[in-house]
Structure formats: structure tokens, C-alpha cells
Structure 1
């Protein structure tokens, strides 16, 4: 994970900006398409890279790379800062209208700039109800939306409770949506990899989560004509 995160540089329409954090497997075609999706309602949404251009395909390699990343907030925070620096340099919109959205490991990255006091307008995290250093959530000054599967073994009920307790104690405007029956990575379509216990695509819940994210962005960083 050396070097700054790469950013998908394809041209997008002007408007508010949203960094899109990929899942643990990195910047795949699925993630690039996910970054393209906000462009339709008018957002500039680069996707950053977690693995320097690689997409680990081995079910054992991905957690081996992501677990150390998630073990401490330092590296995730560095990635989040680098992604925000790219967004702030984007000339197609004025400052102060930035949101962070992430999936899985990318969702953990999206939360850290908020805990670091970055001036975000909204944070959305799917399958990433991670907690930070004691007291740092009080630096979050924007609404936080999180979505997780009820049957997610990576983010179980105890982790969900710890996340909500952190947000509540810090006085954050937070929302947690638990999708009944959904596993980890319920939002990621099958891509030919071997089945992993506790991981499974649920298209209905994926659509609902996307609608929730669009609602968050519309509320907090609306597109203006």
C-alpha cells in the first residue's frame, strides 16, 4: 500500500464532490462504476485505490492486506487525507462541499477524515461500522449514515453497538440502517471469485443502500443548477 491513492481521472460533470472508497479488494471495475454513479445526479466523484493498482483475488490475501490497515486509524487516515487533497484541488467546484462515501474498507477510510476534523458535509459508510480513538468522534461535524447487513460476520451486532455508542456519546448526527438477512458485501455483485462464508450479494439491499446514500448526498450537499 505504498504511495498515494490513485484516483480514477475520467471526466465527470461539475457539482459537489464526493470521494468514493472501494472495498478491500481495491479499485476494480465494480468500484469504478460505483464512482461513476454519482456523476449522473451531478457529483464529481473520484475513487481512490487501496492497493497501488492491484486487486487481490485470493480470499486469504485480501484480509491479510486489509486487517493491518484497519487495526489502527493512522494509515486509513492518511489515505483519507490524500483523497480529500485531490478533491480540494478539483477546479470544477468551490471549496466546502465535500462528502465521503465508502464501502467495506473504503467505508472505514471515509470515517477517519471526520474523526480527524476534516470539513466534510456528510459521511456514508456501507459495511464499515468501525470505531476510532477515544474522543475523536467529537470532531465529526456532519451527518453520518452507515448501512450494514444483519447477518454480517465482519461487522456483527457487538461492533454495530460499539459504533452507535461512539457516535451517540460524541453528539454526532448519525443513522444506522441494518438490512435484515444481508451478509457482508451485500452490495457487491458476484465477480467469479470463490464463495466466501459470510459474504453474499443481495441486489435488493444494494439498491436500498444506494438510495439511502443518494438521499444523504441530496440532503447535505445538494446539486445546484
Structure 2
């Protein structure tokens, strides 16, 4: 098994003291990197483990923070923070750029070979960075079929992969249609995978928190979505052998 080194990284964003999770692959050379965005409740061990898994594959991975080191497990707390955030592209971009600056400053990162992968709010931030002209090699999102300023979407010059559950009430067919129409109009290289029978946040393992209608884990599709994301990275951001 490849040796992975992890660090906690502190940085300011959105008026908060953010606490990210940086995972480094074995070796000393520069590697392609992934900016990993969490679901609305914030950075949890789920995203930290995914960053570690990406480092096992040879990527530098930064799982970034949304809420200043807090995990908003109560739905009302999460919505109170995330709904205004999702309605403000500039705030999302500021949070994303702050994390991206940390990732680019890591000596192991190849600053010209970075992808964004995100879930829910974290995926929306990755898309907004693409709309802001960040030169990602790929953008992958789950549960984040967010639309933006249509005139800026043409700035996304990398492949976009998006995954969503067919029964997701937060990202219903009308939202899928709006997202794909925006991608088509902008000439983006995009793909959308609809996972049959899956709810919102189907990729996220069950928690001890309250049951939220329309949200539920789908183990089989969670594995498929992860394989699809890894495949996107292999296509657009291949890893060379470690030196």
C-alpha cells in the first residue's frame, strides 16, 4: 500500500478560520492535484477518507472546509448557512479560491494539473471556480447540478462530469434540464449520470443524525459514483509513476 501523509491546514475564508485536510502521496516529486469539496454539512471524515484515497492513487488532495471547522449536522443549521451561500456565486468563489491557493502553495502540487471534485455545496463551489475561469483539467460533481451566470459558463474549458440520483428531490428533473441546457449553450464537454433509485446524498454513508426526507445512502451507486470520478481523473488528469 502506498504511504500517504496527511496534514491539517488552517487558512482564512468567508470571514472564518477554515480547517482543511491535506493528503500527500508517497514520493517527493510534484503530482497532479484534486480540490475536494464537501457536502453541505461541511468537512467530515467521509471527505477526509476520500482525500486519502486520492492520495493513494497518486494525487495531492485537499479536502476543504465550508464552515470554519464546524460540522453542521442539524439540517436547519446547514440550510441557514448554505442557502445564502449557494445564492451568492461570489462568496462561493471566494471560499473556493482560498482553498485553491492553499493547494497550489503545496510544494508537491503541480499547479498546472488540478481538478475539482465536489459533493453538494462543495461541488457547486467547484463549478463556480470553473465559471470564474480557473483552468481545471476536470470538474466532477455529485448532487450539484447548480446553474450560474450563463454568460460565464463558457469559461469552463475542461470536461465536466455530474452525477445525481433519479429520486433526488433537491435536484429534480427540471434542475437537471436547466443544468444540461446551460452546459450545452456554453459548449462545455459535459456528462450527466443519473443513478436509478438513488436519493440526495446517496454517496454519503449513514450518520447518527436526524432522518431527512429525500436524503439516503445507496451503497451500490455510491461505489459506482466513486469509480466514475476516479475514471474521470484517470482520463483527464493521469498520474505518472512516482519518483
The aligned counterpart of 1:81 is 97
How far off its partner does 1:5 sit? 3.8
* Unaligned stretches of 5+ residues in structure 1: none
Between the aligned partners of 2:217 and 2:120, the Cα distance in structure 1 is 13
- Of Structure 1 and Structure 2, the greater strand share is in 2
How far off its partner does 1:12 sit? 3.5
1:204 maps to 2:220:
yes
The aligned counterpart of 1:50 is 66
| Closer, same or farther: CA 5–122 of 1 in aligned 2, 3 Å | farther
The aligned counterpart of 2:11 is none
1:9 maps to 2:22:
yes
TM-score in terms of structure 1 length: 0.96
Q: Are the aligned partners of 1:5 and 1:82 in contact in 2 as well (CA < 8 Å)?
A: no
How far off its partner does 1:146 sit? 0.3
Q: Are the aligned partners of 1:4 and 1:82 in contact in 2 as well (CA < 8 Å)?
A: no
Superposed, which structure 2 residues align to 1:207-218 within 5 Å?
A: 207-218=223-234
Superposed, which structure 2 residues align to 1:86-105 within 5 Å?
A: 86-105=102-121
SS in 1 for 2:217: coil
Q: Are the aligned partners of 2:37 and 2:123 in contact in 1 as well (CA < 8 Å)?
A: yes
Q: What is the CA deviation profile of residues 93-131 of structure 1, one whole-angstrom value per residue up to 9, with x for unaligned ones? A: 332100000001101011111100011100001000000
The aligned counterpart of 2:210 is 194
119-128 or 2-11: which moved more?
2-11
The aligned counterpart of 2:47 is 31
How far off its partner does 1:134 sit? 2.4
Q: Are the aligned partners of 1:145 and 1:216 in contact in 2 as well (CA < 8 Å)?
A: yes
User: Which 4+ residue blocks in structure 1 deviate beyond 3 angstroms?
Assistant: 9-14
**Cα RMSD (Å) of the superposition?**
1.3
SS in 2 for 1:9: strand
How far off its partner does 1:10 sit? 4.8
Superposed, which structure 2 residues align to 1:66-77 within 5 Å?
A: 66-77=82-93
* Unaligned stretches of 5+ residues in structure 2: 1-13
TM-score in terms of structure 2 length: 0.89
32-41 or 140-149: which moved more?
32-41
SS in 2 for 1:8: strand
Between the aligned partners of 1:129 and 1:180, the Cα distance in structure 2 is 16
Q: Are the aligned partners of 2:121 and 2:144 in contact in 1 as well (CA < 8 Å)?
A: yes
Between the aligned partners of 2:149 and 2:168, the Cα distance in structure 1 is 23
